[in-house]
A = this chain, B = another copy of it.
Amino acid sequence: MGPGTARIAVDLLGGDEAPAVVVDGALRAVRADPDLHLLLVGPTEVAAGVVDALTPAQRTRITIRATRTAAGPADHAPRADSTVRAAVSAVRDGAADALVSAGSTGATVSAAALGFGRWTDVRRPALVASLPAVSGPVILLDVGGSLEPRPATLARHAVLGAAYAAVAHAIVAPRVGLLSVGTEAGKGDRPRRAADPLLAAAPLPCDARYVGLVEGYDVTLGLRADVVVTDGFTGNVLLKAIEGAYAMAGGPPASGGAPRAAALLGVAGTVVVCHGAATPDDVASGIALAAHLWRRRATDRVREQIAGLPTGDGTDQEHGEALAGSAGHPAADRREPKGWP
């Protein structure tokens, strides 16, 4: 297999309309990318539906791992025999390079944390979305990995977002902003006011620089920042409101709409989470994102970029325990909307 080859494990049973939508998305992805190989994880008869629809040449790029159990909605400790756990195992075993699921975000995040392990210096994995903006993408995180606005988590996610912008989008010297209600120092609720100095003090990778507080406009227009940091609650609500706004306006901008697939950062594997209500095109774009991230070795390179940078996660942990009775275990993900980053 050539250097451009990407082998993506696909959770056939993840998503509101699974398996039909996932099968359809997988077919589109295989036909669109000749260097893409898929490991289909799910019932053999479902996988057969993909194989049968392909040409003999395309079939050589498909392998199957038979599994019958879906993780179930918002299942934060999915069974070992669930498709999402099997997809994680396939990546861990080297049978695939990355995985894609449109199932419960909570199930996928915890399956990934269990199977790959979380990065020791990232207590709370982040879901990272890339939105179209005036001059290139805006990287928004967190969009649902962890809902409570903890200052130390915001600071850590700023580091992750900066590295991701450089590695996955080749953004040079990314500008990192903290989402708030105004740009002057001191604007915002208590977590933002506490996080602003933490971000200002945090060494950022990839020549990134902290530009201070940014506003809602900057998420959609991207004039002030390339990376916008917020908590998973605000990010999730924003992403869906923006998607709705593009629908209201008669369609997304030419540069693309609100993403329905997000990368998971903070676990030792390449994982893409698709919207639970994903369309076949959403699933295909999630698969394409996973292949893109693998080809850039994005996960490993983000990990390298942040290694050794100071972490605020001690604070994060204390704060997390105080706030959520959770010391960084992705239990918060239990509360995640089904299948949405």
What residues make up the interface of A, taking CB atoms closer than 8 Å to B? 73-74, 132-134, 144, 147-149, 179-184, 186-190, 192-193, 215-221, 230-234, 236-253, 255, 323-324, 335-338, 340
Residue from the set A220, A232, A233 with the largest chain B CB neighbour count within 10 Å: A233
Contact of A216 among B73, B193, B217, B240 (CB under 8 A): B240
> Judging by beta carbons under 8 Å apart, are A338 and B216 in contact?
no
Q: Is the CB of A249 within 8 A of B253?
A: yes
CB-based contact A236/B181 at 8 Å: yes
Q: Contacts A134-B248, A189-B335, A335-B193 known; A181 to B237 CB distance under 8 Å?
A: yes
Could you pull out 29 A-B pairs where Cβ atoms are within 8 angstroms? A73-B184, A74-B184, A132-B248, A148-B190, A181-B236, A181-B335, A181-B337, A183-B337, A184-B337, A188-B335, A189-B335, A215-B237, A215-B337, A216-B238, A216-B244, A217-B240, A217-B241, A217-B244, A219-B244, A220-B248, A234-B234, A234-B237, A238-B238, A242-B242, A246-B248, A249-B249, A249-B250, A249-B251, A250-B253
B241-A248 in contact (CB<8A): no
Q: A216 contacts B237, CB within 8 Å? A: yes
- Please state the number of chain copies in the assembly: 2
Contacts A182-B336, A182-B340 known; 15 new A-B pairs at CB < 8 A: A147-B181, A147-B188, A148-B189, A180-B233, A181-B236, A181-B335, A182-B335, A186-B335, A187-B335, A215-B337, A217-B240, A220-B244, A233-B234, A249-B250, A250-B253
Give the Cβ gap from A208 to chain B, nearest Cβ, in Å.
22
B237 touching A179, Cβ below 8 Å: yes
